[in-house]
Amino acid sequence: MATIGFIGLGRMGSAMSRKLVEAGHEVWVFDINPAAVQTIADLGVHAATSAADAASNRDFVVTMLPNGPDVEETLFGEAAVADAMSKNTLYIDMSTIAPDATDKIAKRLADMGIRMVDGPVGGTSEFAERGELLILAGGDPKDVEAAQPIFDVVGRETIYCGASGGGTRTKLVNNYMSTALNALTAEALAFAEVAGLDVQRTVKVLAGTTAGKGFLTGAYERKIFSQDISPEFGLALASKDLNLALTYAASLNVPLGVGAAASQVYAMSRADGLGPNDWSAVLETLRIKSGLPGQTFKA
Ligand code: NAD
């Protein structure tokens, strides 16, 4: 069983450190808020006197803090956790922070001879309570493998996301999509309600179509991921439908900001001459506008 320093006992960290104790690990916990330590004090954790105390001479040090500046401050500020860790400690940051912060932290620790894995998580505190988080791990594969016993306790699955910073970057891409999709979903349901539709019936319809099922494993897989943008559903027709919806919503005074931004993407694709192709070809337009090379498609 391992010795673990766990820093940051909020909604996520308190549940994760409890799981680690239940799995038989020796866990030293610290939070700047003494009340947070108090809530899990009777669960068999060791209450550290400082962040450095939690981190010194441990096999693993885990941080689960709000944001990058909190992690940097904990490691390199007055708390001096980086100095407290030994060369044998594997440091795992599971907070959601900016990629450049992860890069800076990893480099600074590497210069001190300390290995780091970024392992931000998918799933809410409900998932943390059950030890069913999704771990998005970045770092040297050997270090991610070494962190696996920790990940196995707090998570149901670990996905290796590439070199250092890959976990943080994957987490941001994931959350970009889920948060934007949340706003789009809310727009569609407000639109349905104002249009006089039964919302629950509309939800049933949307859940069974591409609207609710998404593109990744359906339309994209069959078409653009297979280098095929021949039209299964034409991009120009999709653009027409989106604009019909926007016009109708405008007549009802329903604001559809996410949809309005999407209509500009279709306009760019049409201007690029992709109108006759499959609607999944918007991906090609955005790839090219983002500086990526164009792909070759099946004739
Ligand atoms: P939280 O605000 O509940 O907890 C953060 C804890 O960190 C608090 O107890 C706070 O006192 C402590 N803290 C702050 N600065 C500190 C410092 N310098 N030293 C020691 N402790 C310090 O946040 P949370 O919901 O547990 O989230 C933690 C991280 O996990 C965030 O990056 C968040 O984005 C991410 N995350 C949260 C969820 C979720 O559903 N809550 C899901 C996935 C990822």
Predicted pLDDT at 293: 96
Residue type at position 173 = V
**pTM across the whole model:** 0.94
Domain extent, residue 215, equals 170-289
278 Cα to the center of ligand 1, angstroms: 43
Q: Which atom of ligand 1 is nearest to the CA of 73?
A: 18
Q: Do the beta carbons of residue 222 and residue 253 sit within 8 Å?
A: no
CATH number, domain containing residue 266:
1.10.1040.10
Residue 161 CA to residue 133 CA, distance in Å, equals 15
Could you tell me if 14 and 158 lie in one domain?
yes
Claim to verify: residue 85 and residue 193 sit in the same structural domain: no
Residue 295: inside a domain, yes or no? Answer: no
On whether residue 299 sits in a domain, the answer given is: no
Burial class (CB in 10 A: 0-12, 13-18, 19+), 72: middle
Could you tell me if residue 297 is inside a domain? no
Query: CATH number for the domain including 51?
Result: 3.40.50.720
Residue whose CA lies nearest to ligand 1 atom number 6:
10
CA distance 92 to 150: 9
Which residue has 């004090």 as its token pair? 41
What local confidence, expressed as pLDDT, does residue 40 receive? 87
Token look-up 């960290």 returns 13
Distance 79 CA to ligand 1 centre (A): 17
Q: Is residue 204 annotated as a catalytic residue, yes or no?
A: no
The catalytic residue among 87, 142, 171, 223 is 171
Nearest CA to ligand 1 atom 42: 124
Ligand 1-lining residues (CB < 6 angstroms): 7-13, 30-33, 36, 51, 64-66, 70, 73-74, 95-96, 121, 124-125
* Domain count across the chain: 2
Tokens 């593109």 sit on residue: 215
Question: Do residue 52 and residue 86 come from a single domain?
Answer: yes
What does the pLDDT read at residue 39? 87
Q: What would the pLDDT profile of 170-219 be if each residue is shown by its tens digit?
A: 999 999 999 999 999 999 999 999 999 999 999 999 999 999 999 999 99
The last residue of a domain, from among 103, 129, 163: 163
CA 11 / ligand 1 centre spacing (Å): 7
Rounded average pLDDT per 10-residue block, the chain, 299 residues = 97 97 97 93 91 98 98 98 97 98 98 98 96 98 98 98 98 97 98 98 97 94 96 98 98 98 98 97 98 93
282-293 pLDDT per residue, tens? 999 999 999 999
